[in-house]
Structure formats: C-alpha cells, structure tokens
Chain A
Amino acid sequence: MIEGRLHHVSIIVPDDERVHELAALLGLKLGRRQFVAQYEADCIFTTGSSGVIEFIIAKSGKLSKFNKGMGGLHHIAIAVPDLEVTKQQLAEQGIPLLETKPVDAGPIYINFLAPAYTRGVIVEYVQEVAAQDAAVDGARPLAAEPQAALTTGSDGGRLSERDIFKNARSLRSEGRAEEAALSLREALRRNWLSPEGIEKAGRHIAGFLDESSGKPLDVLVLGQCTTHWVGNCLTAVGWGCGAAVRTVDGQYDNVIQELMNAAASGRRYEAVVLVPWSERLLGGEPGEGAARAAEELAFWQRAWQIVTTQMSSRLIQVGYDWVSPGAMGHHLSARRQGPVQIVRQMNESLQAALPPSAFFVDLDQASGVMGRDQFYDARRYAWTKQPFSEAGAVRLAQHLWSGIRAMINGPKKVLVLDLDNTLWGGVVGETGPLGIEVGDGASGESFKAFQQYAKALSQRGVLLAVSSKNNPADAREPFEKNPALPLKLSDFAAFEANWEPKSAAIARMAKTLQLGLDSFVFFDDNPAEREHVRQMLPEVEVVDVPEEPAQYIRALEAGQWFEALDLTAEDAERTAQYRAEAERRGLQESFASMDDYLRSLDMRGAVREVDEADLPRVVQLLGKTNQFNLTTRRHSLEEVRALLARPRSIGLTVRIADRFADYGLVAVILGVEQEGETAPTLRVDTWLMSCRVIARTVEEFCLNALLHAARERGFERVVGHYLPTKKNQLVADLYDRLGFGRTGEVADNGVGYALDDIAQVSATTFVARQG
C-alpha cells in the first residue's frame, strides 16, 4: 500500500467559461494556472484549505476527447513524498506507472498509475517540488523529457491509429527510429491497429529493418497473384510477435523465374512463401479441369525443387481457393468438376505431393473462417491483381507467420490459464467447488467446452498450467470434487494458486519447466492481469480474451500459437516428462536443504566397464557432448577400441536412475596409464556427462567410480586436463571442485590437474552404487 494524502481532484472542462461558471457556483477561488505540454492542456488549481480541485482545459490531444469531448470528473491525485520511492513500491507489487519518468507540471511532478490496475479509475501521484528539494538524500534528478514513445495516451486510453502513426513518424524524424518501431510493436501486440494500419505498420517496419544493422529473417514471397500487401502484413504480424521479418516479393505470376534468379543470386532466404491463384487453374474450358490441375501440380513441384535443393530455404506453400462457385451454382460446383471441386481436388494433390518438411496454408480454411466476402476484394483484384481485402491479407499473413514460427521456433509450448471466470464461471472461493458454473446452463457449457479444448491441446502435447489468485486449497478443490470438470489436476504441468503477481508465477513456471518465457501463452479473463503480464513479461504472448465465454475458444485459436508441422508420439508424452521434472523441481524448493533434497531423490548409479555392446553409444556421446566434456576428444570407434586394448586402461560407463526417471547411460570416462611417472599414474583421456544430471553429485559419484577402478589396477595417482572450448565452460573448474591440484598449463590453452595419493580419497555423493 502506498501512503499519501489526497492532493487534488481533477475535472476536465471544455473551456474557461465553464471553469468560471463552476467556480462561482461552488464558491471556489481560482489560483495557479499551468500549461502541461505533454498533455496539451491548461491546468487551473483552486486555492483554499478545504481541498484542491484542478480544472483541465484541453483544446487538443487525448484529454480533449475525454468522455466524448464533454469532460467530467477525470482523476484523483495522491500526494507522495518521493515519486521514485512510490514507483519502487508499486513495482514490488508488479504494478507499473504509465510514464517511465516523472512528468514536469510546474511546481509538481506527476505520474499516473497504469489504469488497468484500477479498472479504469485514473489515479495520479504527485510530488511537490518543494518536497523533493527537502529530500534528505539531496536533489534527486527528475528528468522531464517528453514521453513521445508511449503508445498509450496520457489519460491511460489508447491513441487513435492516426496518432500512433503520427507519433511513430515524429520519433523517426528525430532519429529515434528504434523507439518508433517499438511503439508500433506495442500497438500490434495489443491489437490496436485496423487491417489497413497493420499493413502500414509493415511498411514502416520494413523501412526500419532496411536501415537498422540487425539481421532480419528474410522471406521471399512469390505468387500467381500480386503479393505486395501480404508481404508487408507478414512483416507487421511477425514484428508484433517480437520477430524481425523482412519480405521480398517478386513480379506477380513469375514464380519460377523469380525463384531461379533468387537461387542464382546466392542470397539466403529463411523461408519461401508460394501463393497460387486460381485464375490459371480454373481458366480452362469445361472438362479441362483435371489436365489443368496436373499442369499446376507439375509447376509447383518444379518450384519446390528449386526452393528445397538450390536455395535450402524452408517452404511455405499456400493452397488454392475459389471465390465464387461459378455458373453451376453451389450444389453442382462441388460435384460436377465446378470450381469448388477442382480447387478441393487440387489442394488434396498439392498436400499429398508436398515435401514433408513444408508447411501448408490451407487458403480454403483461412478464407472460410473469415468468410470469403470479407477475405477477398474483387475491386483490388481488378486494380492490381491482388485478390485479398486488407483484412484478408492480414489473415493470410497470420497463417504464414504461424507456419514460419512453427518451422523456426516450433509451436508455443505452454498455455497458462486462469481459473475463476476463465475455466469456470464464478469465484470458487465464494461459491465452493460445486457452486461454480461449468457443465450446465448456457455459460456453463461454454466453460466446459473451453476446458475440453484445453484438454485436447494437452493431449496433443501442449503443456497446461494454472496461474490463479486464489487460496491454494480452494483452487484445487473443483478438480478433485466437481465431476463436471473435464480437466483434472493431472492435466496440468504446473499449478500456481497464490496471491503473488502472475508475472512472478509465470517466471517460476518457466524455471521449473525449463522453458523460455517465449514458449508461454497466457489466457486470463481479467484485463488488468493481462496488462500486467504484457508489461512485466513482454516475451509471453497474451491472448485478448473476450468477455463472452462462448468466444474463448475462437479467441485462443485466432493466434494460431500451437500450429505444428506434424504431430509425433513424443509431443503427447512430453507432458508426462515435464510433469516429472516439475515435480522434482517442486520437491527441490520445498526441501530445507539441498542435501535433504538430493537424498530424497533416491538416486542409484550403475558403473560398468565399456564393452562391445556399449561401444556405439559411447562413440555417439563422444561425438555430440559439448558442455560437460573436459577434453572434447571425438574418438572414433576404432580409436576407443584401441585405447581400451592398452594395458591397465580404463573405460567406464555410468547409468543413473532416481525415483522419477531412469536416465540411462549418462557418463563416460576413459583413462590410460601415463608413462614415465615415478608413482603409477592414470591419465584421464575423456570425461563427459549428460547435463540432465548435473549438480546432483553425479560428478562425485563418477570420480569415486574412477578412483575405485584406478586403485583396482594399482594406480596411486590420477592426472587430467581441462581443454577449453566455446561450449565447455561448465566444467572449467570441475577438477578444482573435486579436490585436484593444478599442475600448470598444457597444450591447447588447457590446464593440467593431479590428484595425489588416491588411496584415501572419496567424494561425498548422494548416488548409491548398484552393481
């Protein structure tokens, strides 16, 4: 809680006349008048001891539009001693201020609270300059730079599309191109732009990407129709999702030539998008449909060959579509080789022939969901051979982007769900587990359908998680006691029910599940929570959830977050794996000490001498282990066999299991006798280990196994090297930690180590030896 007294109450009025009218009516005395540039407004304060009222007259800017230009009660202002301290206190609760810096308003500095957290009640914090001067720690510099980069207006509302672009333009003309581009990203993320605005943002971003030094993702878009707008829309859609996509489009209906040129130019394209248009396919005489379709298929197959072999680019193939059923009418068009049937058959043969690594965008589905009347625009096709409406071009770009994202980053992995009014209607803390709305009644059925949808997502490998501000026991009860819920507790890979900020809960899930925040999609009915997560965790995708639960599924689907190339059995099993890992990590957090935790894991290790059966696996690990690998020697199978044939050599494999999982073969150690030493000495040739079992005293277990084997062979001393690579920093101090002494530098910038007198040495480990 922030302590402060009421500083003033603000009223927006259209003009001076109204100020005087009100002042006369209420017996108020007018005092200081101040123009605040940032809000484009005159502020007039009343004087007197009974409380201050601020009248705001805004001729232009956002405030002038408040309450449709009629004005009215606008905000309350709380006086605080130090805005920076207040900002800090709010930040600890996960609540941001609207402006990043205090705003200069004459004798006071001000900041607004982000209105999402007060559900639209506008609250301002005020620090009087006199108070600042009196601050003990000297004058805190309060910069009052204009906050031009803000996408949100100063009264907390959103800017109009025109103002968003004006703002971006003026930033760019001031040389602040990156801020301009980022302000557009905020507008795109929040779905503030119309389809036309999205295309325009794409043009702006394309200009920015051309001038900036970063490395954008280059995508070539070629079509049998004009694809210019689609390319810009793709740039904008990608930018809104945090990616820099630069599109190049070719001459329309010049696909093969453009591809050959691109292949010859040597320029690297991350992806190639191919957009057919049905004019050629459907342009034949009656009865020619099949022949045309065969020609079209051969055409695309030729294109695919250039893309996949000569250009080594990822391939996104768009399907054909019909706009009108043609003269046959709907009924016959789909059965007598009319446009509908020809297009459907064409799409089937395209998909059957497509290289397996390609992504297919079914235009028939895309236009069908939006409706062909909205998706296409006959006039634009007439004018420029661009068949899509603005909204259609954006929608197509969203499909293209979902494919590119699925190919490059894979689908999003986690869907974080709120509980009350998201998974069920009502508040479980008030109604109890059986009183919530799910299953019966109109909204109950919607919530049930949404749960079933989420459950289906989880069955295809998307992890579900709960983040709910609730008492932990209340939150779980419905899943245990209410039989109407399709979802059960076991469907969730993480369950956070507490009163902490949701950003903290999601960040913790990311750690527990060992996934990047950019794998998360957040779904919550509460706009304040959505805004909170947007601001605190910009990597997380936040779904714009409609108020109506019947529209939840469509809202979630619209982002196409979980588009995947192909479903593997592994996807479906992943939930189980992650849950085991999360449980283990959860255990780690609830144990007082690390030792207790490690003990509770009940780890067992099996040590075996390398035999012929193990050899292929050992060589495979030698070839691919980069991080926990002290010497990174990529021995071949013959080399390992030769090494093991030497007298007194050692080859060990270590297998680890714990109460959660069997990790299989996780470590390999190879050692040979070091010649010319006074004490019999073993030299560790190779020591590698899987990172999955790191920091669980498996290293110590391996050392003990090595020492045991060394003693058996009569060695008294062990030496080893750390040979640094770009990737094995992890083990730079492994020998130090295990008690080896440094003996000096060795070749390849390496460090030599020795452990003398090994007879008595034994490292502490929580892995019990078996076999």
Chain B
Amino acid sequence: MTKDEILEKLQDVFRDVFEDDELTIHRASSADDVEGWDSLMHVSLMINVERAFKAKFSTTQVASLKNVGELVDLLESRQAGASGGPA
C-alpha cells in the first residue's frame, strides 16, 4: 500500500470510529482538529486501526504519535516489515 492508499483507508476508520461520514483527515490532522479525539478515544481509534491494518502497536508507539502523518508512516514501516523487507 502506498502512503496515499493508507491515508484513504485510515479515513474510513476515522469516519467509523468518530461516527462522522463527513470527516476528512490529512497528514497534518491531529487530536486538536478532530472533535471527540481525546485520550480515551485515542485508544479506541488505535485499536480500530490495528484491526483494519492487521497490525499491533506498542505502548510507546501509541503514545508518541503526534498526527495522522506519523500514523501513516508507522503503518507503512510496519507493512515493509511484514512483507519481509528491512525492519
């Protein structure tokens, strides 16, 4: 998956989690831009992202993400790891 494809798929996850079909996210989107994205929702979001992308995050990774772009990068690196590329 390219980063754009990952972002597109993330958009669906965000819409489902925040129950908002109009929600549009960008690489720069962060908890400040999305209504209801608090620390508790962040956990729900991460668990849904894990499910959608069949990935697992560590506590450190989850805590260090600053915006959607970093999440996309993290998912992309995970993907590379899973397909046998350099970890």
Q: What residues of chain A have their CB less than 8 Å away from a CB belonging to chain B?
A: 162, 165-166, 169-170, 173, 196, 199-200, 203-204, 226, 228-229, 379-380, 382-384, 386, 390
Please measure, in the bound complex, the distance between the C-alpha atom of A170 and the C-alpha atom of B21, giving whole angstroms: 8
Do A380 and B19 have beta carbons less than 8 Å apart? Answer: no
Q: Which of B37-61 contact A (CB under 8 A)?
A: 39-40, 43-44, 46-48, 59
Do B19 and A383 have beta carbons less than 8 Å apart? Answer: no
Q: Tell me the smallest distance from the CB of B50 to a CB of chain A, in Å.
A: 10
Q: Tell me the smallest distance from the CB of B23 to a CB of chain A, in Å.
A: 11
A382-B59, A384-B39 are contacts. A165–B21 as well, Cβ < 8 Å? no
Contact residues in A for B31 (Cβ distance below 8 Å): none
A170-B21, A173-B21 are contacts. A380–B43 as well, Cβ < 8 Å? yes
Contact residues in A for B59 (Cβ distance below 8 Å): 379, 382-383
In the complex, 20 of the A-B residue pairs with CB atoms within 8 angstroms, ordered by the A residue number, are A165-B16, A165-B19, A166-B21, A169-B21, A170-B21, A173-B21, A200-B19, A203-B19, A204-B19, A226-B40, A228-B40, A229-B40, A379-B59, A380-B43, A382-B59, A383-B62, A383-B63, A384-B39, A384-B40, A386-B43
Please measure, in the bound complex, the distance between the C-alpha atom of A204 and the C-alpha atom of B47, giving whole angstroms: 18
Closest 8 CB pairs of A and B: A382-B59, A228-B40, A383-B43, A384-B43, A169-B19, A169-B21, A384-B40, A383-B59
Contact residues in B for A382 (Cβ distance below 8 Å): 59
Contact residues in A for B20 (Cβ distance below 8 Å): 169
Contact residues in B for A379 (Cβ distance below 8 Å): 59
Q: Which of B7-47 contact A (CB under 8 A)?
A: 16, 19-21, 39-40, 43-44, 46-47
Please measure, in the bound complex, the distance between the C-alpha atom of A382 and the C-alpha atom of B59, giving whole angstroms: 7
Please measure, in the bound complex, the distance between the C-alpha atom of A162 and the C-alpha atom of B62, giving whole angstroms: 25
Contact residues in B for A386 (Cβ distance below 8 Å): 43
Chain B: how many interface residues by the 8 Å CB criterion?
14
Q: Tell me the smallest distance from the CB of B15 to a CB of chain A, in Å.
A: 9
Please measure, in the bound complex, the distance between the C-alpha atom of A432 and the C-alpha atom of B46, giving whole angstroms: 59
Q: Tell me the smallest distance from the CB of A28 to a CB of chain B, in Å.
A: 40
Please measure, in the bound complex, the distance between the C-alpha atom of A162 and the C-alpha atom of B43, giving whole angstroms: 19
Do B21 and A162 have beta carbons less than 8 Å apart? Answer: no
Q: Which of A165, A204, A226, A228 has the most CB of B within 10 A?
A: A228
Known: A162-B16, A169-B21, A383-B43. 11 other contacts (CB 8 A): A165-B19, A169-B19, A170-B21, A196-B48, A200-B19, A203-B19, A226-B40, A228-B40, A379-B59, A383-B62, A384-B40
Contact residues in A for B21 (Cβ distance below 8 Å): 166, 169-170, 173
Closest residue of chain B to A162 (Cβ to Cβ) is B16
Please measure, in the bound complex, the distance between the C-alpha atom of A169 and the C-alpha atom of B46, giving whole angstroms: 21
Please measure, in the bound complex, the distance between the C-alpha atom of A184 and the C-alpha atom of B46, giving whole angstroms: 24
Contact residues in B for A165 (Cβ distance below 8 Å): 16, 19
Closest residue of chain A to B20 (Cβ to Cβ) is A169
Q: Tell me the smallest distance from the CB of B42 to a CB of chain A, in Å.
A: 8
Please measure, in the bound complex, the distance between the C-alpha atom of A386 and the C-alpha atom of B47, giving whole angstroms: 14
Contact residues in A for B63 (Cβ distance below 8 Å): 383
Please measure, in the bound complex, the distance between the C-alpha atom of A173 and the C-alpha atom of B40, giving whole angstroms: 25
Contact residues in A for B62 (Cβ distance below 8 Å): 383
Contact residues in A for B48 (Cβ distance below 8 Å): 196
Please measure, in the bound complex, the distance between the C-alpha atom of A749 and the C-alpha atom of B21, giving whole angstroms: 59
Contact residues in A for B40 (Cβ distance below 8 Å): 226, 228-229, 384
Q: Tell me the smallest distance from the CB of A383 to a CB of chain B, in Å.
A: 5
Q: Which of A196, A229, A383 has the most CB of B within 10 A?
A: A383
Q: Which of B54-85 contact A (CB under 8 A)?
A: 59, 62-63
Please measure, in the bound complex, the distance between the C-alpha atom of A380 and the C-alpha atom of B46, giving whole angstroms: 11
Contact residues in B for A384 (Cβ distance below 8 Å): 39-40, 43
Closest residue of chain B to A377 (Cβ to Cβ) is B47
Closest residue of chain B to A168 (Cβ to Cβ) is B19
Q: Tell me the smallest distance from the CB of A388 to a CB of chain B, in Å.
A: 12
Please measure, in the bound complex, the distance between the C-alpha atom of A620 and the C-alpha atom of B74, giving whole angstroms: 75
Contact residues in A for B43 (Cβ distance below 8 Å): 380, 383-384, 386
Please measure, in the bound complex, the distance between the C-alpha atom of A559 and the C-alpha atom of B21, giving whole angstroms: 34
Please measure, in the bound complex, the distance between the C-alpha atom of A66 and the C-alpha atom of B59, giving whole angstroms: 41
Contact residues in B for A380 (Cβ distance below 8 Å): 43
Q: Tell me the smallest distance from the CB of A555 to a CB of chain B, in Å.
A: 27
Closest residue of chain A to B21 (Cβ to Cβ) is A169
Contact residues in B for A199 (Cβ distance below 8 Å): 44
Contact residues in B for A203 (Cβ distance below 8 Å): 19
Q: Tell me the smallest distance from the CB of B47 to a CB of chain A, in Å.
A: 8
Please measure, in the bound complex, the distance between the C-alpha atom of A390 and the C-alpha atom of B47, giving whole angstroms: 10
Q: Tell me the smallest distance from the CB of B3 to a CB of chain A, in Å.
A: 24
Please measure, in the bound complex, the distance between the C-alpha atom of A169 and the C-alpha atom of B17, giving whole angstroms: 12
Q: Tell me the smallest distance from the CB of A236 to a CB of chain B, in Å.
A: 14
Please measure, in the bound complex, the distance between the C-alpha atom of A200 and the C-alpha atom of B48, giving whole angstroms: 12
Please measure, in the bound complex, the distance between the C-alpha atom of A379 and the C-alpha atom of B63, giving whole angstroms: 12
Please measure, in the bound complex, the distance between the C-alpha atom of A200 and the C-alpha atom of B18, giving whole angstroms: 9
Please measure, in the bound complex, the distance between the C-alpha atom of A229 and the C-alpha atom of B59, giving whole angstroms: 19
Q: Tell me the smallest distance from the CB of A527 to a CB of chain B, in Å.
A: 29
Please measure, in the bound complex, the distance between the C-alpha atom of A661 and the C-alpha atom of B16, giving whole angstroms: 61
Please measure, in the bound complex, the distance between the C-alpha atom of A664 and the C-alpha atom of B40, giving whole angstroms: 61
Please measure, in the bound complex, the distance between the C-alpha atom of A165 and the C-alpha atom of B13, giving whole angstroms: 13
Please measure, in the bound complex, the distance between the C-alpha atom of A226 and the C-alpha atom of B44, giving whole angstroms: 14
Contact residues in B for A390 (Cβ distance below 8 Å): 47
Q: Which of A162, A196, A204 has the most CB of B within 10 A?
A: A196
Please measure, in the bound complex, the distance between the C-alpha atom of A384 and the C-alpha atom of B43, giving whole angstroms: 8
Please measure, in the bound complex, the distance between the C-alpha atom of A173 and the C-alpha atom of B19, giving whole angstroms: 11
Closest residue of chain B to A170 (Cβ to Cβ) is B21
Please measure, in the bound complex, the distance between the C-alpha atom of A166 and the C-alpha atom of B16, giving whole angstroms: 8
Please measure, in the bound complex, the distance between the C-alpha atom of A166 and the C-alpha atom of B21, giving whole angstroms: 8
Please measure, in the bound complex, the distance between the C-alpha atom of A169 and the C-alpha atom of B22, giving whole angstroms: 11
Please measure, in the bound complex, the distance between the C-alpha atom of A173 and the C-alpha atom of B62, giving whole angstroms: 32
Q: Tell me the smallest distance from the CB of B19 to a CB of chain A, in Å.
A: 6
Q: Tell me the smallest distance from the CB of B53 to a CB of chain A, in Å.
A: 15
Contact residues in A for B47 (Cβ distance below 8 Å): 196, 390
Closest residue of chain B to A204 (Cβ to Cβ) is B19
Contact residues in B for A228 (Cβ distance below 8 Å): 40
Q: Tell me the smallest distance from the CB of B81 to a CB of chain A, in Å.
A: 19
Please measure, in the bound complex, the distance between the C-alpha atom of A382 and the C-alpha atom of B46, giving whole angstroms: 14
Q: Tell me the smallest distance from the CB of A135 to a CB of chain B, in Å.
A: 41
Please measure, in the bound complex, the distance between the C-alpha atom of A587 and the C-alpha atom of B63, giving whole angstroms: 71
Closest residue of chain B to A161 (Cβ to Cβ) is B16
Closest residue of chain B to A380 (Cβ to Cβ) is B43
Q: Tell me the smallest distance from the CB of A460 to a CB of chain B, in Å.
A: 40
Closest residue of chain A to B58 (Cβ to Cβ) is A379
Q: Tell me the smallest distance from the CB of A200 to a CB of chain B, in Å.
A: 8
Q: Tell me the smallest distance from the CB of A231 to a CB of chain B, in Å.
A: 11
